[in-house]
Amino acid sequence: MAELLEKIPPEKRWAITAKILLNFTFLRGSLIVVPLLGMGEGIIAPVWGWEKFREINTKIWAEVNKKLLLYTKEKFNISVEDAVDAAHLTCVMASLQSGPEWECEYPEATRERAVVRNTKCPWWERYKEFKIKPELSLCDVGHQSGNKEGLKAINPKIKYTMTKARPWGDPYCEDVHEFTE
């Protein structure tokens, strides 16, 4: 088995592993829990209701991503002293969390304000592959609450706002990182 794995380039192994882990997340969450809430093809009546489910996920992802951002910052010694640093940190963390499919552009990048466009997102690709309705996506909740709370914990001078999201009907997700003195 080791010989077979050695024939697969590390980048390809990372991509496969990330895709498998995201698929597992979708099977556990979107394909099992969402139907239980009566939002999909499930037959069980709603347990909490959609708004409560989103509220719970907001809290979970805020805590998870706060820890992931802190870990990434410390592990890779990433400074977060301005808006560009914050934008880079969130993109590095997202790529480590989701794999090499993740792609970001920086249409604006100054010390005071950095805009990040997520042009390719493995989470969104998995939603499409599993044919999950965009309105049932929770990626905006995790992305928004996780980055907002994580960056606030790292540097309270960084203000994070999600301005566009695929689940909202936009062609890409867009984040604004602002640094205030």
List, for residues 125-181, the tens digit of each pLDDT value: 888 887 777 666 667 877 888 899 899 999 999 999 999 998 888 999 999 999 997
Total domains, the chain: 1
Q: Residue 109: which residues within 8 A CB-CB, separation 6 or more?
A: 83, 84, 87, 115
Strand order in the sheet with 173-179: 103-109, 113-120, 173-179, 158-164
Asked whether residue 2 is domain-assigned, the answer is: no
Percentage of the chain beyond pLDDT 70 is: 76
Q: Residue 52: which residues within 8 A CB-CB, separation 6 or more?
A: none
Tokens of 154: 């790292």
Asked whether residue 53 is domain-assigned, the answer is: yes
Asked whether residue 166 is domain-assigned, the answer is: yes
- Kindly compute the dihedral angle of the four CA atoms of residues 44, 168, 173, 89, in this order, to the nearest 10 degrees: -60
Asked whether residue 1 is domain-assigned, the answer is: no
Cα–Cα distance list, 29 to 82, 83, 110, 156 (Å): 35, 33, 37, 32
Percentage of the chain beyond pLDDT 90 is: 31
pLDDT-derived band of residue 36, with 50, 70 and 90 as boundaries? very low
**For residue 85, pLDDT beyond 70:** yes
CATH number at residue 101: 3.30.1380
Domain hosting residue 167, numbered range: 11-179
User: How much is the pTM?
Assistant: 0.78
* Residue of 78 and 98 predicted with greater confidence: 78
Compute the average pLDDT of residues 53-76: 84
Alpha helices (runs of H) in 2-138, residue ranges in sequence order = 2-7, 10-28, 34-36, 50-75, 83-98, 122-129
| Nearest partner of 101 among 131, 129, 75, judged by Cα | 129
**For residue 83, pLDDT beyond 90:** yes
Asked whether residue 149 is domain-assigned, the answer is: yes
**For residue 44, pLDDT beyond 60:** no
